Amino acid sequence: MRTFKYVILYLLIIQLVLPLLVPLEAVYNFRMDYEIVKDRIEDIDPVLEQISKTIKEKKQEDYLIILGDSVAYSGPGGPEQSISFYLSQLAEKEGKELPVYNLALPAMQAGDLYTMLLKLQEYGISTDKLIINLIYSGFVARKPDPPCVFWLAGELKRLDPTAYETVRKNLAANNRVDTGWKAFSRQLSAFIFRKVNIFKYKDYLARKILAPIEQPKGEDPTLGRPWFEKEFLPDLLQQPEYQKAFSDQAFIMDETNPQIYFLQKIISRQQDKKTLIFLASVNRELMQDNVEKAGYKKNLELIDQFFAEKPVAYLNLHDAIPNELFSDHLHLIPEGYQYLAEILWGQAKAMGMLE
Amino acid sequence: MVFQSLEFLLLLVLTLIVYYLWPKGRLYCLAIANAFFYGVGGLGYLVLFFLLALITYFSSLHLKGKRGKIFFLLALGLNLANLLFFKYSLFILNNLERFLGLSFGYQNSVLTRLVLPLGISFYTFQIIAYLVDIRRDRLAPCRSFLLFWVFVSFFALVSSGPIMRGEKLLPQLERVKEQPFNSRQFKSGLYLLGLGLSKKILFADLLSPRVAAYFSSAPYLNSYQAWLAAYLFTFQLYFDFSGYSDMALGIGRLFGLHLTRNFSSPYLSANPTDFWKRWHISLSSWIRDYIYIPLGGSKKGLSRQLIYLFIAMTVSGFWHGAAWTFIIWGMYHGILLIAHKLYLVMKKRFSFFPKGGRIYHLASVFIFFHLTVIGWVFFRAQGLTNALLILKKMLLVNHFSPSDFRPLGLGLVAFFYLLHLGEFWLRKNQEKFFQFWQQKLPAPLRALAYTLVLLVLILFTKGTESGFIYAQF
């Protein structure tokens, strides 16, 4: 029994001390680590905890939060080819003290962005200066996919049960609603991974320990290559899942569209804060047949009209990036993300985000 | 629900609390926990298992009566039909089509969408042993369905064994109400659970992706890589299955139950007969008692004995999986056993055969270990073509090139073999070791060691993502 008491004591010490010993760099490097987070979405929490700790330790009052999907995440390039890296460089160049925290993740939907705002509040991270990326396909009617909350449905249920109930039907149609044992099992796991620090940090620590014996993954040769060097792309983009994302059917711009429902909630939470929402660019040359349709153009106008009445800054970057800077129809090569960062930097300056 | 998951930990802790707080209700507690453990995998399969258990139980009550044979055949037939339907129907149809040139048109039928019920091969063999033992008067039929349900569905063993005999487990279960809490036994259970978890999480799971990468690229392997793939799988399988078995034994002990040990340092075997006394002991003894001996065993002359050995090992291979690779693996071990029997006969007759000694023993262990490694290629490869391809690269001299050799890989294999030896040493000296551990080391230091083990296990566990190899059988 004495031994057991000591074990409990040691575990308590670890619980208290572990978050203090882990540096931010172990969990965050200009953006979240998709390879880790995609397998266990609770792995977002250590990132938020460490950012929160850094903000407090360094007494950071001004910092920029980025939320979004694979565009803000800056796939398919590496962390040092991301908009957060380039924005940090720009800040440094101009002698501004503005840490940038990029919390975007591929496939994040408006529901995930809203849930991230709730999580940021939970961790005491301010969203006074916030940049969000949206893409055209987010507004397309969901039939039923993609789910309006791709990653964080469980967290939305915990943090805003009313919002969760509102979109439950869409989530259920996308197999994002667990019931019975599966729901219990998932909630138990999420609870342990949020509350018990050794579980919370285990994926990051295990990666660190195993790094010397892991076989290095060969770098994908298509990374960083522009779209016109990828011969397979035009055919691939004719597939229904890609074509659906460029639908020219008229957008429904009321709250029956989960995208609008969550955007309204995001905007209302961001009242009196400096928020920049940008619509990501599209490779007009590659998607020419789609983007020139009248219905598509009309939909872009609908998005512009929606934001025109809202108390947030909005940038329609649909045509803003030169086609040669794309790595596919939507994502950019490193020079493209640098270009995007410069646009965002300019707008942030204009909005007084750097003051 | 796998043993290394949080859900299982919760189930185990809750069951243990109720079990020790409510001695009179222990069987109920285990029965409910078993049903829950099994039901999580699919309610339909739980109902099926429960019905089979119910029919077997009622049939077993009449095995000694006038219509005993009919009830025996009914229960046996139903259990075998269940196994045949879920595990072998596709394989049989597929091969009938292939060899007879027929077409049954089952490709879009429900058969192709069936998922193998958890532990079906294990519980079927356990039930068969129970029925046969009653028919042979070696066991009295169970008089309580509650007891029988706990016997066939005990969650520590239902998914991958050990295949328990009624004579060993039923008397223990009958006495569970009177069993006092035994701290020494409980600690030994925790030790076995920790040992099994360590084998699974630290070795089997870390080896798994490397082995999978090698076996999925069979055509591109060089000779050295083919050997390395086979060696690594040899240890992955051992750590995975013996790790599971240690956990099962440990869980049993937490409830005061002694389950059959399934492994006894098998890679130290000097011959195939020795190997089958050390590897998956509960299955090999089942095959011996319910197939090999009923066929005639060694009582009908050497040539018949060799045929029976071959049949028994082929059945053992087929039990593992509905694929030719498993059948050939079984046949391969049958041939090894036959060769060993013949060798023993020759050794008796002719004086020029070596008689024994330490070097002879070490050489035998070395040779037999490599014969086992070769056999595992059939067990792991995706299809017969891949298995033969890997074996060709392992065995043909013209595939060897000194430049392919990497000392690090072989160092890893040597390390795993040393671990295997270390486990053998630990088991042999466990009493001394425990005494030293408890008496010489102060509590804070022991606690520190336990905490470190716990942390390492938490850090590296993959939870539900990683199942056990034998759970698919």
Give the residue on B whose Cα is nearest the Cα of A39: B465
> How many percent of chain B have pLDDT more than 70?
98
pLDDT at B463: 61
- Which of the residues B62, B258, B320, B361 is marked catalytic? B320
Is residue B357's pLDDT more than 90? Answer: no
- B447 lies within 8 A of chain A by CB: yes
Structure token pair of residue B101: 């040139």
Handedness of CA B422, B361, B308, B320 (dihedral sign): positive
What is the ipTM, given to two decimal places?
Answer: 0.83
B447 and A11 within 8 Å at the Cβ level: the answer is no
| Distance from the A161 Cα atom to the nearest Cα atom in chain B, whole angstroms | 25
Q: For the CA atoms of chain A, what is the radius of gyration?
A: 21
Enumerate residues 200 to 229 of chain A having a beta carbon within 8 A of any beta carbon in chain B: 202, 205-206, 209-210, 215
Q: Active site includes B320?
A: yes
Pick from B51, B403, B465: which is nearest to A203 by CA? B465
pLDDT tens, residue by residue, B94-107: 888 888 888 877 77
Pick from B17, B57, B12, B53: which is nearest to B36 by CA? B12
A7 and B450 within 8 Å at the Cβ level: the answer is yes
CA distance A346 to B375: 67
Mean residue pLDDT across chain B: 92
Pick from A109, A49, A153, A114: which is nearest to A275 by CA? A114
Enumerate residues 28 to 57 of chain A having a beta carbon within 8 A of any beta carbon in chain B: 39
- Write the DSSP symbol of residue A287: T
CA distance A51 to A67: 14
pLDDT tens, residue by residue, B414-424: 999 999 999 99
Q: A278 phi and psi, to 5 degrees?
A: -125, 140
pLDDT at B330: 96
Give the residue on A whose Cα is nearest the Cα of B43: A181
Enumerate residues 22 to 61 of chain B having a beta carbon within 8 A of any beta carbon in chain A: 40
pLDDT at A103: 98
pLDDT at A335: 95
| Distance from the A308 Cα atom to the nearest Cα atom in chain B, whole angstroms | 47
Q: A101 phi and psi, to 5 degrees?
A: -115, 110
Structure token pair of residue A295: 């219905």
Q: Backbone dihedral region of A268: left (phi > 0), alpha (psi from -120 to 50 degrees) or beta?
A: alpha
Domains defined for chain A, CATH in brackets: 23-210+227-350 (3.40.50.1110)
CA distance B439 to B442: 8
Is residue B464's pLDDT more than 70? Answer: no
3-state secondary structure of A319: coil
pLDDT at B465: 59
Angle at the Cα of A89 (from A86 to A91), degrees rounded to 5? 110
Enumerate residues 153 to 182 of chain A having a beta carbon within 8 A of any beta carbon in chain B: 181
CA distance A65 to A309: 23
Stronger pLDDT, B409 or B315, i.e. the higher one:
B315
Stronger pLDDT, B1 or A282, i.e. the higher one:
A282
- Write the DSSP symbol of residue B86: I
**Residues A276, A131 contacting (CB under 8 angstroms):** yes
The DSSP H or E segment spanning B196 is: helix B183-198
- B455 lies within 8 A of chain A by CB: yes
Q: What share of chain A is helix, strand, coil (3-state, %, to 5)?
A: 55, 5, 40
Give the residue on A whose Cα is nearest the Cα of B463: A189
| Strand pairing category for A274-279 and A313-316 | parallel
3-state secondary structure of A277: strand
In which order are the strands placed within the sheet that holds A313-316? A100-102, A64-67, A129-134, A274-279, A313-316
Mean residue pLDDT across chain A: 93
| Distance from the B340 Cα atom to the nearest Cα atom in chain A, whole angstroms | 41
Structure token pair of residue B131: 């029925």
Structure token pair of residue B419: 């671990």
| Amino acid identity for residue A161 in this structure | P
pLDDT tens, residue by residue, B45-62: 999 999 999 999 999 999
Angle at the Cα of A179 (from A177 to A184), degrees rounded to 5? 110
Average pLDDT over residues B161-171: 94
Q: For the CA atoms of chain B, what is the radius of gyration?
A: 23
Q: What is the dihedral of CA B4, B168, B422, B225, to 10 degrees?
A: -60
**Residues B162, B260 contacting (CB under 8 angstroms):** yes
Is residue A58's pLDDT more than 60? Answer: yes
Which of B201, B206, B459 to mutate against chain A (most A CBs within 10 Å)?
B459
CA distance B45 to B116: 9
Lowest-confidence region among A188-202, A213-227, B153-167, B238-252: A213-227
Give the residue on A whose Cα is nearest the Cα of B213: A215
Pick from B353, B373, B184: which is nearest to B267 by CA? B373
Is residue B347's pLDDT more than 80? Answer: yes
What is the CA B93 to chain-centroid distance, rounded? 27
Q: A322 phi and psi, to 5 degrees?
A: -60, 140
**Residues B118, B45 contacting (CB under 8 angstroms):** yes
Q: A17 phi and psi, to 5 degrees?
A: -90, -30
CA distance A170 to A193: 27
Is residue B410's pLDDT more than 90? Answer: no
The DSSP H or E segment spanning A102 is: strand A100-102
From chain A, the residues in CB contact with B458 under 8 A are 198-199, 202
pLDDT tens, residue by residue, A128-186: 999 999 999 999 999 898 999 999 999 999 999 999 999 999 999 999 998 888 899 88
Average pLDDT over residues A256-263: 97
Q: What is the dihedral of CA B27, B33, B35, B41, to 10 degrees?
A: -160
**Residues A174, A147 contacting (CB under 8 angstroms):** yes
